[in-house]
Structure 1
Amino acid sequence: MSKSQSAPDDQGLHQFIRQEIEKSGPISCERFFELVLYHPRWGYYSQDRARVGRHGDFITNVSVGEMFGSILAEQIAELWELAGSPAEFAIVEPGAESGDLAADIVSSLGKEYPEVPLKYFILEPHPDKQAHQQKRLTGVSVQWISNWEKLGLFNGIVLANEFLDALPCRVVEFSDNQWKEICIGLEGEAFAFRPGSIINPSLAAEIAKLPAMPFQPYRTEINLAARNWVNAAAKRLGCGYLLFIDYGYAKTEYYSPLRTEGTLTGYRAQQRDNNVLERIGETDITAHVDFTAIAEAALEAGCRVIGFTDQHHFMVGAGERRLLSMEADPGRTPVRQREKFLRAYKTLMHPETMGLAFKYLLLGKGLPDQRVPSGFRYAGDPKKALELP
């Protein structure tokens, strides 16, 4: 039985969670991760600390450099054109962390595509996090909203970069020929996994869709919060797109019988730590994304699937025009700037670095039939890849 081995402090986050368990019994992993990651005072994402980059806990696409934002800006400009060049076009980014991606996209669009009537919104519910981002993004044309109601129905793009994987998930296990929900209880002063009955109707419905498991015990994740968030976001979109960038799989690969321990893990100081019950509030906890489930949640809100690919193929397609331009007119871009761009580009797209780790899912709503956007031109049939009807 997995449990936290280190003796937790008597104060702070450990005490808060322990008191909730003592009062009401074992809590779902979803609730535990919600508190560990997002408690307003002690949660991992609520603390003023370095999380991203060489001196943080993990590396992201954004931390490679501004080139990532410039490529996305180029794709966004094309999507605006494919949508009919509307007079109003908003980008809504949840989970913006430091705001670096917002700054890079706004800067690139302003320089390269000033005709795009851009309004950039960061969706951030926590006031302290908003204040930190506002201080960092002084002078950048960005607005903040705390919830969807502040924005209303809009036209544009929901841009979720490495956001869905950080939403708290449920954990389930198939053992003794039945499915159980894995919850968090107490073992002395430590937290421990505890199997329990499936009582949540939405969770039971998702479990019913899973393939038969030939191996036991088989543990995996189901992210109801991600499905609900995507469905709500899609309903706020009048005409435009949802673009999700994250690590994950289509459903069959995600729930492969060989993946018996799921994808749940923690990251701290660039190291992977599978014991997510230890050093809570200091460790990022994440699970891969089931992109089939995400697409289904958006389809229920009236969207259609436009493209699904990995980062390697997205970068090849979306960056092709820029690369050809550099080759055709090498004197236009200073040598050092070109070399910097190419180094970052290689890091992001190469299959042996980050090229196969990240997936891109593009959905559209209220749009005319259109050609495939550049970032997805080298991808296969997205419905087939996602196993959708």
Structure 2
Amino acid sequence: MTQTSILTTGLHEALHATICKAIEQANGWIGFDDFMALALYTPGLGYYASDSRKFGLMPAGVQGGGSDFVTAPELSPRFGQALARQVSQALQATHTTEIWEFGAGSGALALQLLEALGPQVGRYTIVDVSGSLRERQQALLVAHPGKVHWASELPAQMRGVVVGNEVLDAMPVKLLNRLNGVWHERGVALHQDRLTYADRVTDLRPPLEVVGSHDYVTEIHLQAEGFVRTLADRLQAGAIFLLDYGFPEHEYYHPQRSMGTVMCHRGHLADGDALADVGSKDITAHVNFTGIALAGQEAGLEVLGYTSQARFLINCGLLGGMEDATLAERAMVQKLVNEHEMGELFKVIGFAARNATVPPADTWAPLGFAAGDRSHTL
């Protein structure tokens, strides 16, 4: 066993012990959202709080690899360049000069936005809970000293454009299980020192009634919706653009989606066992964009639009200049927009802060939603 594998095993054992202690202190049961938070974010031990490489094109065993999954900015710099056109328009329309990026990952998107927008950005603030990712971001963004800043929490007031790519899906979710017609909250317990699922009868319900009486597992997104409400409370002027995989409510809680959407990612492979190898893989859930939209509206934000990633990026000029692109570059762009890749599963939702000192959103017609807006489907 190598020194690295010994260290990794030790970290996983320490994380397992931390989760076991939390379960014991909670009288033998914690909600799945609490488990997911511990698995991903326990300082120094959780998946996002450890030093493992997470973002990249290649899995372990491939030269230059070692990553678990790839996000759009790693696929092509054209992703960030297209998004920059929308961010530029929003900065101008809201008379702001700061970008706030949540969960900046490898820093690739930040670099693409900074290079595309240049002096239009006076300050770029990254909010990220991972110390190891912050080090990677700092190394990549070294050419922008004084402009890039890091924060672990939000200030009381913010101004600017907020960007979040694959942030909502990593926020802990509550699991609900309809079993024999009775709704339960699914949590995590211990059986002979092994993590196992355990259900408790609950008053919690999905936001839509799920047709039928068959057994049904699903998620509710209280933390993601709370995150949007917090942004609404703090954002004094500006706009928000969130990109992630998910569905509107009527698709999310479709009767046939009976196994839920929780998924794990490691080495560019997916599996559905969140309780196995905790700390060594990502745990995610698809986003209910209707719930996100309603949370924003109820908190005072204006919904700018909602559409597929493909339509949003094309509206923002993704395909411009593709005649000069190499075959490899074209292949990566196809991954961003093809329906069977990221183009349809990934969606984009935009919000604007309601502030009397800046023009209302309908006076500047956001570029990314100019064609193919699906807000009516939420």
Q: Same fold (TM over 0.5)?
A: yes
Which amino acid in structure 2 is aligned with residue 172 of structure 1? L
Q: For the structure 1 residues 252 and 82, does the alpha-carbon distance in structure 2 shift closer, same or farther, using more than 3 Å as the test?
A: same
Which amino acid in structure 2 is aligned with residue 153 of structure 1? Q
Q: For residue 231 of structure 1, what is the aligned residue in structure 2?
A: 229
3-state DSSP class of the match of 1:209?
Answer: coil
Q: For residue 332 of structure 2, what is the aligned residue in structure 1?
A: 344
Which amino acid in structure 2 is aligned with residue 183 of structure 1? G
CA contact (8 A) 1:166 1:287 kept: yes
User: C-alpha separation between the residues in 2 aligned to 1:341 and 1:318?
Assistant: 18
User: C-alpha separation between the residues in 1 aligned to 2:175 and 2:15?
Assistant: 21
CA contact (8 A) 1:164 1:226 kept: yes
User: C-alpha separation between the residues in 1 aligned to 2:275 and 2:183?
Assistant: 22
Match of 1:299 among 285, 297, 319: 297
Q: For the structure 1 residues 381 and 127, does the alpha-carbon distance in structure 2 shift closer, same or farther, using more than 3 Å as the test?
A: closer
Q: For the structure 1 residues 313 and 106, does the alpha-carbon distance in structure 2 shift closer, same or farther, using more than 3 Å as the test?
A: same
Q: Structure 2 matches for 1:174-253, cutoff 5 A? A: 174-198=178-202, 204=204, 207=205, 209-253=207-251
1:252-284 deviation digits (Å, cap 9, x = unpaired): 100001000010011111111111110000010
Q: For residue 60 of structure 1, what is the aligned residue in structure 2?
A: 71
CA contact (8 A) 1:174 1:213 kept: no
CA contact (8 A) 1:67 1:341 kept: no
User: C-alpha separation between the residues in 2 aligned to 1:255 and 1:214?
Assistant: 12
Q: For residue 262 of structure 1, what is the aligned residue in structure 2?
A: 260
CA contact (8 A) 1:69 1:101 kept: yes
Q: Structure 2 matches for 1:94-105, cutoff 5 A? A: 94-105=102-113
3-state DSSP class of the match of 1:62?
Answer: helix
CA contact (8 A) 1:313 1:379 kept: yes
Deviation at 1:318, TM superposition (A): 0.8
Structure 1 stretch displaced more, 183-192 or 365-374: 365-374
User: C-alpha separation between the residues in 2 aligned to 1:242 and 1:165?
Assistant: 16
Normalization by structure 2: what TM-score?
A: 0.87
1:353-381 deviation digits (Å, cap 9, x = unpaired): 22112100011123423243221111235
Q: For residue 42 of structure 2, what is the aligned residue in structure 1?
A: 39
CA contact (8 A) 1:90 1:156 kept: yes
User: C-alpha separation between the residues in 2 aligned to 1:376 and 1:341?
Assistant: 25
Structure 1 stretch displaced more, 338-347 or 370-379: 338-347
User: C-alpha separation between the residues in 1 aligned to 2:232 and 2:214?
Assistant: 37
1:163-214 deviation digits (Å, cap 9, x = unpaired): 0000111000112222110010112121111011326xxxx3xx26321430
Q: For residue 86 of structure 2, what is the aligned residue in structure 1?
A: 75
Q: For the structure 1 residues 170 and 208, does the alpha-carbon distance in structure 2 shift closer, same or farther, using more than 3 Å as the test?
A: closer
CA contact (8 A) 2:307 2:374 kept: no
Q: Structure 2 matches for 1:23-172, cutoff 5 A? A: 23-24=25-26, 25-53=28-56, 54=58, 55=65, 56-83=67-94, 86=95, 88-110=96-118, 114=119, 116-140=120-144, 141-149=147-155, 152-172=156-176
Deviation at 1:311, TM superposition (A): 1.2
3-state DSSP class of the match of 1:184?
Answer: strand
Deviation at 1:339, TM superposition (A): 5.9
Q: For the structure 1 residues 41 and 345, does the alpha-carbon distance in structure 2 shift closer, same or farther, using more than 3 Å as the test?
A: same
Gaps of 5+ in 1: 1-7
Normalization by structure 1: what TM-score?
A: 0.85
User: C-alpha separation between the residues in 1 aligned to 2:332 and 2:225?
Assistant: 32
Q: For residue 286 of structure 1, what is the aligned residue in structure 2?
A: 284
Q: For the structure 1 residues 176 and 353, does the alpha-carbon distance in structure 2 shift closer, same or farther, using more than 3 Å as the test?
A: closer
Match of 1:359 among 328, 334, 347: 347
CA contact (8 A) 1:347 1:354 kept: yes
Structure 1 stretch displaced more, 210-219 or 153-162: 210-219
3-state DSSP class of the match of 2:363?
Answer: coil
Gaps of 5+ in 2: 1-8, 59-64
Deviation at 1:95, TM superposition (A): 0.7
Q: For residue 14 of structure 2, what is the aligned residue in structure 1?
A: 12
User: C-alpha separation between the residues in 2 aligned to 1:209 and 1:100?
Assistant: 36
User: C-alpha separation between the residues in 1 aligned to 2:79 and 2:368?
Assistant: 13
3-state DSSP class of the match of 1:247?
Answer: strand
Q: For the structure 1 residues 234 and 340, does the alpha-carbon distance in structure 2 shift closer, same or farther, using more than 3 Å as the test?
A: farther
Q: For the structure 1 residues 49 and 63, does the alpha-carbon distance in structure 2 shift closer, same or farther, using more than 3 Å as the test?
A: same
Structure 1 stretch displaced more, 177-186 or 365-374: 365-374
Q: For residue 6 of structure 2, what is the aligned residue in structure 1?
A: none
